[in-house]
Amino acid sequence: MYCKHCAKEIDDKAEICVHCGRRVRSSISSILENSELTRLRPAKEAKSPGLAGFLGFFLSWVLLGPIGYLYLGQWNWFWITFAITVIAYPLTFGFAYVLFPFIFAFHQYQMAKELNEQLEVAKGREDS
């Protein structure tokens, strides 16, 4: 690869350029790029960045965000993000459709009863 600062050729695994001494990658991206799990699989034909971005956005709206990685031929990234969404989506919808309905139902039920009690007290005062 080439240094992004001085453009001279350097070792593919170098973190610091031997020519200019500047860091060519962060340690986090170095871990990600060197990991077999997240390594990019080479493509057989050119991919459209626009279509890839669109798929990532559109498919996320129908809860299928990871599918976009299949267009890019990256099954490893598909499975990693699939595992994340399998955990994140039920948690998100669990809050939205299970936990919140019970919280709001209980709170608003109690509030209605309290309002009715206040109404009864006010009526009692009017009658006497």
Positions that interact with Zn ion (CB under 5 A) = 3, 5-6, 17, 19-20
> CB of 26: closest distance to Zn ion in angstroms?
15
Q: Tell me, letter by letter, the H, E, C secondary structure of the chain.
A: CECCCCCCECCCCCCECCCCCCECCCHHHHHHHHCCCCCCCCCCCCCCHHHHHHHHHHHHHCCCHHHHHHHCCCHHHHHHHHHHHHHHHHHHHHHHHHHHHHHHHHHHHHHHHHHHHHHHHHHHHHHC
With respect to Zn ion, which residue has the nearer C-beta, 5 or 47? Answer: 5
> CB of 34: closest distance to Zn ion in angstroms?
20
> CB of 16: closest distance to Zn ion in angstroms?
9
Contact present, 103 and 122 (Cβ < 8 Å): no
With respect to Zn ion, which residue has the nearer C-beta, 13 or 19? Answer: 19
With respect to Zn ion, which residue has the nearer C-beta, 17 or 55? Answer: 17
> CB of 30: closest distance to Zn ion in angstroms?
16
Separation between Cα atoms, residue 59 and residue 63, nearest integer Å: 6
With respect to Zn ion, which residue has the nearer C-beta, 19 or 123? Answer: 19
